Structure 1
């Protein structure tokens, strides 16, 4: 490659007119020149920047396809060929076979370089051969690439390259590679190839039998066997195999997955247990039967060697009451005075709360993880009873508010709020902590207050509400309203928020005002004044604030015309994925308008085919223009949305709103399948909460099935 000509051609390209993940692609030529240059440090920086800009987290952009020919020339010249070929393979992997978008353009661009990729499969350097095999396979060009990769596999001796070649062959032709993968899983191949072959067998749809089970078990721990692979999707072999088998959703595949996990958990080898625990955690996220089927093997492993418990504490927490047999071991660990006592107690809270409470009360200040578990984590609800010893421990901590740190004030407030009047004896300590932690303690104060203490509590909340503290004042005013019905301090605080001009503050204030209904009429001028300029390029927070104002104007004064005008903007636009919830909020408010929201019908109907918006849009159309819905077809769209885990709870509510006709034809069977199958439907976005979210979905789906039963239909 002539470096002068290369740099000139790079500079002549119109990069500034192209875009990548961070906007203008004007910086790409500097990266391409550095990557092809002599300075290794600058080249490494350039490669990292290209991964961040033109292949950002697996996404490709307008500039990506334009960079491909220059990258290919760099690799063809033997300049950092392995790194550049791997980058090209990542681009091909993120591309698409069809369409006119950036993804299709990138796939076409990399596929055009197949002669280079396939020639590089024969390179002297093993790293180049490996990267070339990966990149060629990612083009999806089966007719051109499969034979070349198969021929190379027949003569390749390097284990990592053989593994990458085999993975590429499975990717290009799964069914056609079953026999090869099955043979490569045998003892004659290196361990790196065998583990790739076992994953390939799963990908190719081969039946999982005793031979596969024994081979996989013999190769554990297996993560190190794929550490050199470019194929990062299969970087945890045991987890990958188990998850793939469970997602097949057949009894034999489930049996195979759980037999493999049980055997791995019972090996007694810490390094195998670590991989098995992670694979088991993934199984709990995927399979409804996982907690029951894993409890026995896991408890066997713990009872065999209690010292291994720390490696499986996260899994124990996911199994909850199914792992109650491990309670005594966890209690012994939690009673120790060492670094893992808090972790063990947190697991015990989930496994056996009754056994955990006395231990938590005994050393509350030194058990932050266990306290967090007792309160249900970041977004959960408290799960421990109002125990006298635990209440006393909470009171003792609140009596020294200056000693509280981290999340303690939030956790104690959550516990007291969940216990309510049963914790009324804590009122003095809550009052003492109110000044230092007004936002956290205000709601707790309203919750624990007994009828005879309302005057004293109300006075404290009223003083705090008028203190001028932004967050504390609002919390106290809300709690005062809940406790006494007094709206005056709350209205004053909300008026101040609306006048501030901050979009987030406007959203919160408008939502609270809407909840007050006509009692918030005094805020109507401030609400109207807080609306953003529709001619401006509004941000998501500003749109959210306008939606909250629309809700308030309707619920306070029935001002439908203004509400419709404010909702039309968010409902009419098509924006990026992060706008999803803004559009959903607008549709929910439109539903409240009922017939007054009819002018929004066309905007709503345009949203109906989008699985992310289908559920809330159906709810809105049921309210504003029900005659526009073809009920069986609409129900089918809702079931499509559920199957994609796109707001499934709202989809169930929308099905219910459509009535019994919604489950005509095969729709009832589809909903029954979602309610009763083994793979979970909904995956919580909160770590560790998927199982509980899916169980709520399952219960709700069964309720909808019962509610939509036709007259005379059997149970």
Structure 2
């Protein structure tokens, strides 16, 4: 342990941390001794950012340990957080110490320093402040497998004292976890009179057993985990500084979805304190396929228990995210959503989006009422200018997907918002919504031309104009003008659309020759060639050179373009087959293979995994609101397997 007066004896200028030279470390450590909590807090924040940056440690981290240990004992403020910094610096997988290179790692150096100062930190286990005691337990547990026999015996004895007699149940539960790091199991912990201890014991046993979860452990977790100690979130335990106790328990339970949903039901029935049950249900839905009906029902049951508008909105968004996976949302759920949506409160928009995705007819009326009326028009209605325009755009885009038959009512509203000056993602969503309406969307041609000329969602507007297939002078002139834009992506989209409408490939060929031989988003430019079809044949040499590109998206786009231009998939299929997998680019490769009508034998084992895995293989983070990519992954894989069977029968 080293005092602040010794800071200048360390050659910090020769050491590095996350941001380079560690010359600032001594000043930050010295600031921990300030009486002012704000000053000490800022210093800790900086130390977390440089000597422990997002879980990574550096050459300067170990030399800081003996100084941090002294601060943990003698600083005026933030002693608990200084101890936690020590704990997370030393955090490691015990299996790592068996690796040949362990001794040369920064974390090994940190643990060696912590082992030296640990005897002097043991008195913190008896500190009057529960937060200090909890953090000290983390520190004692961190180097458990690296202590000498004498150090180990002393540490275990002190932790056992805490476990046996600490006045705070949550601290005793932490002591139980610390003892487990030393290989000590308290056999009677599951029968403890303290629910916090029973819960910790069940989590430890569950980590050892793995799935499926034993029924007795599920019962303990369901009973004792519903009402956590209000101070239990003081520090994360077990795991790293980014993994809290709830998240650790959710991870264990989620490995057995039936057990997780059983626990969820009981936690929600008990009041869903801290939204613990809701969080667990949401994790199950994002981890496992075909659990959406059960999860949506549980989240709906949790709605009355949400204590803040933020919690309630989160639950409504979850329902909206999964509701279109239900075969038929029941009337009770739709009525509940309608009650939340038909208001002027904070919950109206997420509830209305969920109601739209349930395809409840009342949703269409609420969307139109909200987007067409002014701010004083009544419940569920918002303004159409200012912040309300963003809301209106999202609602109309969702309604277009859910009610394509309502083109005569929705297209005029989309046109009006575009004409009113919608920009950015709002305008992109509105233009994209027009794709749902077929020829009716042609009514929006004037607004699309204006978007193109004013550079509002110009790329999607150009593509939409090309897809609509109406070659008026106004449209083709606007597209031709856009081919001179400084934005290369817009130039490509406009050139391809111009070629599609006029049948004249000259401008497009010149544009794409420049784009495909320069630098930029090559995969994007290749994707824009779809609108040209066979007219892009002179560009084939440029397309073919990208079939072996290092970037997967570029290879994919080149293979797709080659197929569209030539009409033959022979050279594209091998490239696409190599890309198939549970990734965003792998999903697109599946779609491209389906478009080619090919299911090569070599990819069928992968297709089988993608089609029949019980776990989700693709996440949807951030949520797009346009369907879950894993659902598409499974659907395309199954379609290709069916195509493969047909191919085999034809041979």
**TM-score between the two structures when normalised by the length of structure 2:** 0.72
**Mapped pair 1:91 → 2:55:** no
Q: How does 1:618-697 map to 2 (within 5 A)?
A: 623=571, 626=574, 642=582, 647-650=585-588, 652=590, 659-663=600-604, 667=605, 672=608, 674-687=610-623, 692-697=628-633
Instruction: Give 1:712 shift.
Output: 7.0
The equivalent of 1:287 in structure 2 is: 288
The equivalent of 1:141 in structure 2 is: 145
The equivalent of 2:566 in structure 1 is: none
How many correspondences in the alignment? 595
Contact in 2 for aligned 1:65/1:106 (Cα 8 Å) = yes
Distance verdict in 2 for CA 1:305–1:591, change over 3 Å: closer
Contact in 2 for aligned 1:120/1:128 (Cα 8 Å) = no
The equivalent of 2:119 in structure 1 is: 119
**Mapped pair 1:228 → 2:234:** yes
The equivalent of 2:261 in structure 1 is: 258
Q: Deviations over 1:196-242 (max 9, x none)?
A: 223222222265323651464145222635222342555353x6435
C-alpha distance in 2, partners of 1:306/1:56? Answer: 34
C-alpha distance in 2, partners of 1:292/1:431? Answer: 36
C-alpha distance in 1, partners of 2:447/2:37? Answer: 66
Q: Deviations over 1:641-664 (max 9, x none)?
A: 63xx6755247569986711444x
Contact in 2 for aligned 1:333/1:340 (Cα 8 Å) = yes
Contact in 1 for aligned 2:540/2:562 (Cα 8 Å) = no
- Is the partner of 1:684 in helix, strand or coil? coil
C-alpha distance in 1, partners of 2:158/2:496? Answer: 69
C-alpha distance in 2, partners of 1:298/1:438? Answer: 34
2:176 to 135, 141, 166: 166
C-alpha distance in 1, partners of 2:448/2:648? Answer: 56
- CA RMSD between the two structures: 5.1
Instruction: Give 1:684 shift.
Output: 0.8
Contact in 1 for aligned 2:22/2:60 (Cα 8 Å) = no
Contact in 2 for aligned 1:150/1:169 (Cα 8 Å) = yes
Distance verdict in 2 for CA 1:705–1:50, change over 3 Å: same
Instruction: Give 1:354 shift.
Output: 3.3
1:68 to 59, 62, 66: 62
Distance verdict in 2 for CA 1:329–1:527, change over 3 Å: closer
**Mapped pair 1:588 → 2:598:** no
Contact in 2 for aligned 1:303/1:326 (Cα 8 Å) = no
Distance verdict in 2 for CA 1:424–1:624, change over 3 Å: closer
C-alpha distance in 1, partners of 2:418/2:316? Answer: 36
The equivalent of 2:198 in structure 1 is: 194
1:31 to 28, 32, 35: 28
C-alpha distance in 1, partners of 2:291/2:74? Answer: 49
Contact in 1 for aligned 2:492/2:528 (Cα 8 Å) = yes
**Mapped pair 1:14 → 2:41:** no
Distance verdict in 2 for CA 1:191–1:566, change over 3 Å: same
**Mapped pair 1:47 → 2:44:** yes
**Mapped pair 1:702 → 2:638:** yes
Q: How does 1:177-326 map to 2 (within 5 A)?
A: 179-180=185-186, 183-188=188-193, 190-205=194-209, 207-210=213-216, 212-214=218-220, 216-222=222-228, 224=230, 226-231=232-237, 235=244, 237=246, 240-247=248-255, 253-267=256-270, 269=271, 271=273, 274-294=275-295, 310=312, 312-318=315-321, 320=323, 321=326, 324=330, 325-326=332-333
Contact in 1 for aligned 2:547/2:559 (Cα 8 Å) = no
The equivalent of 1:615 in structure 2 is: none
Q: Deviations over 1:571-602 (max 9, x none)?
A: 3xxxxxxxxxxx3332224435769xxxxxxx
Contact in 1 for aligned 2:522/2:554 (Cα 8 Å) = no
Instruction: Give 1:115 shift.
Output: 2.1
C-alpha distance in 2, partners of 1:307/1:551? Answer: 45
C-alpha distance in 2, partners of 1:334/1:489? Answer: 44
Q: Deviations over 1:297-329 (max 9, x none)?
A: 666677999999958544543552476233334
The equivalent of 1:406 in structure 2 is: 390
The equivalent of 1:509 in structure 2 is: 491
C-alpha distance in 1, partners of 2:307/2:26? Answer: 58
Contact in 1 for aligned 2:89/2:110 (Cα 8 Å) = yes
Contact in 2 for aligned 1:465/1:474 (Cα 8 Å) = no
The equivalent of 1:353 in structure 2 is: 360
Structure 2: runs of 5 or more not aligned: 564-568
Distance verdict in 2 for CA 1:91–1:508, change over 3 Å: farther
Instruction: Give 1:424 shift.
Output: 4.1
Q: Deviations over 1:35-70 (max 9, x none)?
A: 46777543332210121233233334xxx2323222
Contact in 2 for aligned 1:85/1:131 (Cα 8 Å) = yes
C-alpha distance in 2, partners of 1:224/1:140? Answer: 29
C-alpha distance in 1, partners of 2:495/2:135? Answer: 60
Contact in 1 for aligned 2:103/2:109 (Cα 8 Å) = no
Instruction: Give 1:531 shift.
Output: 8.1
Q: Deviations over 1:403-450 (max 9, x none)?
A: 963332464366468866853477776666554337647677797696
- Is the partner of 2:41 in helix, strand or coil? helix
- Is the partner of 2:235 in helix, strand or coil? coil
Instruction: Give 1:134 shift.
Output: 1.9
Contact in 1 for aligned 2:281/2:298 (Cα 8 Å) = no
C-alpha distance in 2, partners of 1:89/1:110? Answer: 10
The equivalent of 2:455 in structure 1 is: 470
Contact in 2 for aligned 1:202/1:241 (Cα 8 Å) = no
C-alpha distance in 2, partners of 1:673/1:491? Answer: 44
Distance verdict in 2 for CA 1:422–1:135, change over 3 Å: same
2:161 to 155, 160, 167: 155
**Mapped pair 1:106 → 2:106:** yes
Q: Deviations over 1:68-113 (max 9, x none)?
A: 2223233146344643342232233368658899997222122212
- Is the partner of 1:69 in helix, strand or coil? helix
Q: How does 1:234-633 map to 2 (within 5 A)?
A: 235=244, 237=246, 240-247=248-255, 253-267=256-270, 269=271, 271=273, 274-294=275-295, 310=312, 312-318=315-321, 320=323, 321=326, 324=330, 325-335=332-342, 340=347, 344-351=351-358, 353-361=360-368, 405-409=389-393, 411-412=395-396, 415=399, 423-424=407-408, 434-437=418-421, 440=427, 464=450, 468-471=453-456, 477-483=462-468, 484-485=470-471, 488-497=476-485, 500=486, 505-513=487-495, 516=499, 519-522=504-507, 544-546=520-522, 548=524, 556=536, 558-559=538-539, 571=550, 583-592=551-560, 623=571, 626=574
Contact in 2 for aligned 1:417/1:447 (Cα 8 Å) = yes
Contact in 2 for aligned 1:91/1:110 (Cα 8 Å) = yes
Distance verdict in 2 for CA 1:625–1:344, change over 3 Å: closer
- Is the partner of 1:113 in helix, strand or coil? helix
- Is the partner of 2:188 in helix, strand or coil? helix
C-alpha distance in 1, partners of 2:445/2:625? Answer: 37
